[in-house]
A and B are shown apart, each in its own frame.
Chain A
């Protein structure tokens, strides 16, 4: 029943065919190819392109230990009970020193193991900042094209500033827990601004009412230009309590996005951002290709020893690039 997929130099088109026929290994290889990037990734994405646009994508973010993985496993389990299929992309940080990573989100997702309608992929940030891996957006595309009804994206433990998830998922759930801080924390800029739904997890513990009250107060201080008012829900993921109201809130938000045209606006905004990111990346690569290792080292030493101002050093590098990069 399962074709053995050769590990080296697989034909991306054959992989797509096998994956669509249900071969788990072929699906996994597609994710790997796209995660690793390069021309093969582009080939895979191109052959999947006609199939995208059906999955509901939800981002789950929040501080380390808030219960994101447990919540994701509960959400996925509830969706599976409804007969819908789920792909989970769970991101954990990579070591800035070795590039290695321990990816432990699966530990909390035991209920999904062995269920062919649920696919869990653990991802390392591979050095990216912002709470996600660089390839996540393309991996969401792969999951969508492979026909999963839902894609749940779990970010790394995010504190205040890791807001990239808002560019990936049209609906973002922020998971908080009791005793995280006072009401000034709640009015700081950053991650609190991008959440569409607020969840106070571990509501079986003392302090949950207060945490929810702080969030509601914070939200009442903000004028929402959009008609959507982010709800604040208390749940206990570990006990499976409050999951159904959360799924209802997610569905309500996705419906809101679709009916008021904000989904289109979000897609355009996301495309704009991807375009600019792409240009930045390519320009950076081209520029670096024109600068020799020695030149870069010499400039770095000069900056470190305060012999040249940082801004001037950047201009010098750009000047080298301008001479040789044709735009």
Chain B
């Protein structure tokens, strides 16, 4: 039987904008939900993000983009993950995403998009549901 795997999340900010308050709030909230959050800091290239995601063996990559450049950066990250055989990693995007861009990001493989004002507990619950286990790694629905 495989041991319980606590949920590990990489929170990264691709591109050049320097506003990381949102990313830090989410990192903190996921920590409070019991997850292990690796925060990589500002100004990450897609290559750096994907390499870190692979080395850290995360279940989730959360990208925070507030600069409007999400269509530039996000598909590069998902494409690189695919290329490296890691397209089972759950990719989420947080930031200011116009409604018209949502299908584009979803088409690129993004499974969750969270705008300003999203309760952080929603993000944690979404992750647990998508992965089918709790933050501590207990399979959901297998409690008895």
Asked whether A103 and B39 contact (CB < 8 A) given A25-B86, A98-B135, A121-B56, the answer is yes
**Is the C-beta of B31 less than 8 angstroms from some C-beta in chain A?**
yes
Contact A114 B37 (CB under 8 A): no
- A326 on interface, CB distance cutoff 8 Å: no
The answer to whether B84 and A36 have CB atoms under 8 Å apart is no
Tell me if B84 and A100 are in contact (CB < 8 A).
Answer: no
How far is the CB of B35 from the nearest CB of chain A, in Å?
A: 5
The answer to whether B6 has its CB under 8 Å from any CB of chain A is yes
A13-40: which residues lie under 8 A (CB-CB) from chain B?
Answer: 24-25, 27-29, 31-33, 36-40
Cross-chain contact B31 with A100 (CB below 8 angstroms) = yes
Q: Which residues on the B side are within 8 Å of A5 (C-beta)?
A: 85
Are the CB atoms of A2 and B84 closer together than 8 Å?
Answer: yes
**How many of chain B's residues have a CB under 8 angstroms from any CB in A?**
39
The answer on a CB contact under 8 Å between A37 and B37 is: no
- Known contacts A32-B57, A110-B41, A113-B51; A40/B3 CB under 8 A: yes
How far is it, in angstroms, between the C-alpha of A41 and the C-alpha of B4 when the chains are bound?
Answer: 12
Q: Is B55 an interface residue (CB 8 A)?
A: yes
Asked if B69 is an interface residue, CB under 8 A from chain A, the answer is no
What's the count of A-B pairs with C-beta under 8 Å? 113
* Known A100-B34, A103-B38; contact A7-B88, beta-carbon cutoff 8 A: yes
A122 interface hit (Cβ, 8 Å) = yes
In the complex, the chain B residue whose C-beta lies closest to that of A105 is: B38
Docked pose: A124 CA to B58 CA in angstroms: 13
Report the minimal beta-carbon distance from B108 to chain A, rounded to whole angstroms.
19
Which B-chain residue is minimally distant from A113 (CB atoms)?
A: B48
Q: Is residue A244 contacting chain B, with contact meaning CB distance below 8 A?
A: no
- Assess the A24–B51 pair: CB atoms within 8 A: yes
Are A98 and B27 in contact (CB-based, < 8 A)?
Answer: no
Q: Which of A38, A95, A122 meets B32, CB within 8 Å?
A: A95
Interface pair B4/A101, CB less than 8 Å apart: no
Contact of A122 with B48 at beta-carbon distance under 8 Å, contacts A98-B34, A100-B37 already known? no
- Give the Cβ gap from B128 to chain A, nearest Cβ, in Å: 12
Contact B36 A28 (CB under 8 A): no
Is there a chain A Cβ closer than 8 Å to B113's Cβ? no
- 8 A-B pairs with CB atoms under 8 Å apart are A8-B2, A9-B2, A25-B57, A94-B36, A95-B31, A113-B51, A114-B48, A120-B56
Q: Which residues of B contact A65 (CB under 8 A)?
A: none
B19 within 8 A of A: no
- List the A residue with the shortest CB-CB distance to B47: A114
A37 near B3 with CB under 8 A, answer yes
Task: Mark contacts of B45-88 with chain A using CB atoms, 8 A cut-off: 1 yes-contact digit, 0 otherwise.
Answer: 10110011011110000000000000000000000000111111
Distance from A75 Cβ to chain B, minimum over Cβ atoms (Å): 18
Nearest to B7 among chain A residues (CB) is A100
Q: Decide: A106 and B38 in contact? CB cutoff 8 A.
A: yes
Query: B125 within 8 Å of A by Cβ?
Result: no
Chain B positions 1-35 with a Cβ under 8 Å from a chain A Cβ: 1-6, 27-28, 30-35
How long is the Cα–Cα vector from A122 to B6 in the complex, in angstroms? 14
Would you call A113 and B31 a contact (CB within 8 A)?
Answer: no
Partner of A2, one of B45, B85, B88: B85
